[in-house]
Amino acid sequence: MPIDEVFKAAILAARTLIEKDPAYTRATARLLLHTIRKEILGRETTQAQMGEAYPEYFPRFIKQGIGAELLDEKLAQFDLARLGAALKPERDLQFDYLGLQTLYDRYFLHIDDVRIEMPQAFFMRVAMGLSLNEIDREARAIEFYDVLSTFDFMSSTPTLFNSGTRRSQLSSCYLTTVADDLDGIYEALKENALLSKFAGGLGNDWTRVRALGSYIKGTNGKSQGVVPFLKVVNDTAVAVNQGGKRKGAVCAYLEAWHLDIEEFLELRKNTGDDRRRTHDMNTANWIPDLFMKRVIEGGNWTLFSPSTCPDLHDKFGRAFEEAYTAYEAKVDRGEIKLFKRMPAKDLWRRMLSMLFETGHPWITFKDACNVRSPQQHAGVVHSSNLCTEITLNTSDTEIAVCNLGSVNLAQHLADGAIDQDKLKKTVSTAMRMLDNVIDINYYSVKKARDSNLRHRPVGLGIMGFQDCLYRLRLPYASVEAMEFADRSMEAVCYHAYWASTELAAERGRYTSFRGSLWDRGVLPPDSIDLLAQERGGYVEVDRSGTLDWGALRQRIAANGMRNSNCVAIAPTATISNIIGVDASIEPSFGNLSVKSNLSGEFTVVNEYLVRDLKKLGLWDDVMVMDLKHFDGSLRPIDRVPEELKRLYATAFEIDASWLVEAGARRQKWIDQAQSLNIYMAGASGKKLDEIYKLAWLRGLKTTYYLRTTSATYAEKSTVAPGALNAVPSAASTSAASSASTAMAEPVAEPASDIKFCSIDNPDCEACQ
């Protein structure tokens, strides 16, 4: 038997034991690390020998990558001996099996499928790529390497893929707005194709396109409306897969007053005319405050074609309300013929029922995004992005771009609280890295380059929120957890804005700073007052804070800001797998589950829970089988103490209102938005109505997927140990038989085509 097969057998044997003890995920990672080193170095190398092996290998790796036309030739200009000496081989031991296997299969550079990149060289390569324009490049590369390799911060997947390579496409998200003529529509389709070829997720605003039955002056005919064009967008996303690496990913946004909104709501249905369905793209409602007020107050709602009221698209807040009611008065006088009027509650009910049935369109709020936008002086936010966390202006001349990365919150706890000093240091370095992306990035469309260089927005997010709650012994569904969500997000945002104003002092403020909310001394928490004024009430948000925002305000007044926007919480699905923490701000899906990605099926066990159960003498084979049987839930297992059931409650055991409340506490500090999934067990029309109205009242800008059944499933059979690794999970089995999107993973109820973000989906890194 060849020795390589022996090593593979050892890895397979070890991974089957992960369900017995999560420590085996580290053991399996060490075995995999051994084979990676042997493949790349060509010899057996112990951990002790890596202290000498890494510095010797690193310059050779860079030259080999440049010779194979994989790496940018500029990397050869660095002091490679100094950078090689800075590599820390002990950090290779931090990985769990899922993280290291994901890096090996998807991220490490290879020549003819033979890897040439080892873990610490990977992090240094990314760091070097982000340091190309720095004055002291080596010092900055080492600084960036340290935050990446310690798992304190992680750049988004496009940056990890491409930093330091010859194709420096490092950005995650692009937002466009579509004009109301054929030239504009097909220009938008071309831009989608180009951006999708090289980039991540796309958000398209379709509100300006005239509705079905609208008059076309050029042909004296009538328009077919938005829907036929969205079918073409859907097929373009499928056709232009991102450089052959993953499917294109698009989300279309439409405002709630558009006459085509009812048909738009049904785009994801499995029944009806398939020529008017889009099974491979996402959709989202862009809802003005006036609509929500009419729903709550029991008023009527009028649908218009944008061709008869073109200015509504660019208005928000009170200005929108005044213009909209003026158009309604024109209808009453008979001056507008093409319209439809209905009780607002009826349309709201249809929105929620379609969301429940198909998972789309998502619920996002136009006025909260615009009234609280620091850049409202420079344009209008017409949509969010593919994951609903980006809220940037778009126009005929500007495509919004966002560059993402996330702080690992779990690495910034000390003595039961946020370690402010460490967090400030990490965030300062992370913001510099994100700002550098803007200048180094490759732009396939000029409008995207112009916009990004003018406004310089970035999106710093967080991950490992659930891990923090476990370490602090706080159940997600608790007042204390809401307080932690508030204080931790306040700290991240405060340090991010501080870092941006420091960068402005060093590098200059962004071009369109003058007139922004920053320039006017209005910081994100202050902008809640603006929202309350524009709405005339209907804003119920906790306003407490602990940091010195006055000092920050003075600093910004003196220095300005380097970035128009600084913070956005993306899903972090893939990068959280790499570093081994729970994704983003998500609650845990299950304490024993299977994650599927392109590397296969991975058993994931809650290490915190196992530690607690071992202390109580409760971790045994019967507990493993019980967790399998009950989909990773402790709730039905009688011998588990109630305290642990509360602490380790899974997403569907937490009332959805806690998720909204935590989101509201974060949103008051954030200058963009957050990817906020709503989990609901036993969903009903009444529950949906209450939760999404609560989201609006709490000032949330956007919501993401509605999930009504578990996202991952543990195998329930009582077969031999290790079968959990051998049998595909229920989620991945159903996915294989479904037409999945770039954000896809179906669940069983209530509809077979509900799609999830890449927390479960092997194909997508559209955001992170």
Question: Quick one: pLDDT at residue 52?
Answer: 92
Share of residues in the chain with pLDDT > 70 (%): 90
Q: What is the pLDDT of residue 496?
A: 97
403 belongs to the catalytic site: no
Name the nearest CA neighbour of 255 among 189, 309, 187: 309
| Averaged pLDDT for residues 662-684 | 93
Is the pLDDT at 743 greater than 80? The verdict is no
Q: Give the model confidence (pLDDT) of 380-400 as tens digits.
A: 999 999 899 999 999 999 999
**CA atoms of 226 and 253, how far apart (whole Å):** 11
Query: Cβ distance 494 to 427 under 8 Å?
Result: no
Query: Which one of 321, 328, 389, 765 is the catalytic residue?
Result: 389
**Weakest mean pLDDT among 141-145, 353-357, 473-477:** 353-357
C-alpha closest to that of 265 among 200, 330, 193, 359: 359
CB 406 within 8 A of CB 154: yes
Amino acid identity, residue 596?
S
**Options 234, 370, 385, 563, the catalytic residue:** 385
Nearest to 721 by CA among 24, 4, 5, 99: 24
408-424 average pLDDT score: 95
User: Which pLDDT does position 757 carry in this prediction?
Assistant: 43
Cα Rg of the chain, angstroms: 26
CA distance 276 to 264: 9
If phi > 0 it is left, if psi is from -120 to 50 it is alpha, else beta; for residue 327 that is alpha
pLDDT in tens, 451-507: 999 999 999 999 999 999 999 999 999 999 999 999 999 999 999 999 999 999 999
pLDDT on residue 712: 40
What is the Cα–Cα distance from 26 to 28, expressed in whole angstroms? 5
pLDDT confidence tier of residue 222, bands split at 50, 70 and 90: confident
740 has a pLDDT exceeding 70: no
pLDDT (0 to 100) of residue 242: 54
pLDDT at position 729, please?
A: 31
Q: Mean pLDDT throughout 266-283?
A: 81
For residue 201 the two structure tokens come to: 């997720």
Tokens standing for residue 337: 């013929």
pLDDT band at 94 (very low <50, low <70, confident <90, very high): very high
Distance CA 70, CA 544 (A): 50
Q: With cut-offs at 50, 70 and 90, classify the pLDDT of residue 751.
A: very low
Interval 227-237 mean pLDDT = 84
Report, as an integer, the average pLDDT of 205-217: 81
- Has 387 been annotated as catalytic? yes
| Burial class (CB within 10 angstroms; exposed 0-12, middle 13-18, buried 19+) of 717 | exposed
Q: At residue 285, does pLDDT exceed 80?
A: yes
Residues 430-461 pLDDT 10s: 999 999 999 999 888 899 999 999 999 999 99
Cross-strand bridge partners of residue 154:
406
Is 309 noted as a catalytic residue in this protein? no
Predicted TM-score of the model (pTM):
0.90
Domain ranges of the chain: 1-120
DSSP letters along 91-136, please? GGGG--HHHHHHIIIIIS-EETTEE---HHHHHHHHHHHTTTT-SS
Q: Which of 684, 722, 493, 502 is nearest to 21 (CA)?
A: 722
Burial 295-330 (b: 16+ CB within 10 A, else e): beeeeebbbbbbbbbeebbbbbbbebbeebeebbee
Q: Which of 495, 385, 373, 491 is nearest to 430 (CA)?
A: 495
Distance, first Cα to last Cα, the chain: 41
Residue 202's pLDDT band (cuts 50, 70, 90)? confident
Using 50, 70 and 90 to split pLDDT, how confident is the model at 755?
very low
Residue 608 pLDDT: 95
Q: Is the pLDDT of residue 72 over 90?
A: yes
Reading the block at residue 578, the tokens are 């790499």
Instruction: Examine the pLDDT at 754 and tell me if it is beyond 50.
Output: no
Q: What is residue 210's DSSP assignment? A: P
Q: Give the residue-averaged pLDDT of 345-356.
A: 94
What stretch of H or E contains 153?
Answer: strand 153-155
Catalytic residue among 173, 369, 387, 757: 387
**Orientation angle between helical segments 119-129 and 50-67, nearest 10 degrees:** 50
Whole-number Å distance between alpha carbons of 713 and 563: 41
Please list the alpha-helical segments (H only) found in 508-541. Answer: 527-535
Structure tokens at 607: 């290490």
Separation between Cα atoms, residue 545 and residue 563, nearest integer Å: 23
Print burial letters for 519-555: b (CB count within 10 Å at least 16), e (below 16): beebbbbebbebbbebbeebbebeeeeebebeebbeb
Confidence of residue 675 (pLDDT cuts 50, 70, 90): very high
Question: Left, alpha or beta for 71 (phi > 0: left; psi -120 to 50: alpha)?
Answer: beta
Q: Which residue has the higher pLDDT, 168 or 556?
A: 556
Q: Give 248's Cβ-side CA count (13 Å radius).
A: 25
663 CB neighbour count, 10 Å cutoff: 28
Per residue in 2-51, pLDDT (tens digit) is 888 888 899 889 988 988 999 999 999 999 999 999 999 988 888 999 99
| Per-residue pLDDT band at 714 (split at 50, 70, 90) | very low
